[in-house]
Chains A and B, each alone.
Chain A
């Protein structure tokens, strides 16, 4: 099954 990614995988912190 595909794995749930988090937004921090795509967007820059800060």
Chain B
């Protein structure tokens, strides 16, 4: 049986908003480590990996490892019924065909429970090898979201290049071209406003902007985003979820044949 209680229920609402447009159905894996998910989009170009560690919950009980298949659109509909300040409790059973979401208002004067039907999902799990990345860029998540949004009004793909000059985001389309360069900047008032570039060697990769834009839906979860790049490898776009874990997106590059 699984029973978890999350005081900061808004966090789970934000998690759903950041994955539901990328993946329709997914298996949530429950174990003593935490509540996790790995799922690919239908074209197998992007993958989302979520971990909410058990220590991050006020109460976490999972007697046995098991998976629960959920339609993320339906789960999002249910979680939208929780208030932003609500405490969310999730209950499920191994082999059960439903999951229960309980929403408690902070003053305990309103308690709601929603039962959602589970589904059997034949999902493909991918083994993600440990990789040494040529360049790791950490920047404000709002800045990255702004860049992706701006570039997608000009073109469909983004070339991300890291050199010792900084990180460059470029696109081109029918109306013209665009280049945005962000330099390392650590002289900021708050650490989360810094742009930090760790480069082992220069790297340049091409990606579909549509997916990058979808990843930026996770921006409300974290002030910063980390983009890890290696030649001929999928990019990793990571948003840390404070005290709890992370949401990582992997996106396969476009490569000249």
Which residues of chain B have a CB within 8 Å of any CB of chain A? 40, 43-47, 124-129, 157, 206, 208, 233-234, 250, 252-257
Residues 1-14 (chain A) with a chain B CB within 8 angstroms: 1-14
Q: Give the docked Cα–Cα distance between A6 and B252 (Å).
A: 6
- Given A8-B126, A12-B126, A2 contacting B43 (CB threshold 8 A): no
- Residues from chain A with Cβ under 8 Å of B157 in the complex: 2
Q: Is there contact, CB below 8 Å, between B128 and A2?
A: no
Spell out A's residues near B (CB within 8 Å): 1-14
Cα–Cα, bound, A10→B243 (Å): 31
User: Given the complex, which residues of B lie within 8 Å of A2, measured CB to CB?
Assistant: 157, 206, 253-257
Partner of B254, one of A3, A8, A10: A3
Q: Does the CB pair A3–B234 fall under 8 Å?
A: no
- Does the CB pair A4–B126 fall under 8 Å? no
In the complex with contacts A4-B252, A6-B45, A13-B206 CB distance below 8 A: no
Q: Given known contacts A5-B45, A14-B126, what 14 new A-B pairs fall within 8 Å (CB)?
A: A1-B254, A2-B257, A3-B256, A4-B45, A4-B254, A5-B254, A6-B252, A7-B252, A8-B44, A11-B127, A12-B126, A12-B129, A14-B124, A14-B127
5 pairs from A and B in contact (CB 8 Å cutoff)? A2-B206, A11-B47, A12-B129, A13-B127, A14-B125
Chain B: which residue is nearest A4 at the CB level? B254
Chain B minimum-CB-distance residue to A9: B252
Contact B255 A3 (CB under 8 A): yes
In the complex, residue of chain A having the shortest beta-carbon distance to the beta carbon of B211 = A4
CB distance from A7 to the nearest CB of B (A): 5
Contacts A2-B255, A13-B124 known; A7 to B129 CB distance under 8 Å? no
Please, how many angstroms separate the alpha-carbon atoms of A1 and B43 in the complex? 19
Q: Which A-B residue pairs are the 8 nearest by beta carbons? A: A2-B254, A12-B127, A11-B126, A6-B44, A5-B252, A2-B256, A4-B254, A7-B252
A7-B46 CB under 8 A given contacts A2-B254, A2-B255, A2-B256: yes
Contact B126 A13 (CB under 8 A): yes
A11 and B129 in contact, given A6-B43, A6-B44 (Cβ under 8 angstroms): yes
Nearest B residue to A11, CB-CB: B126
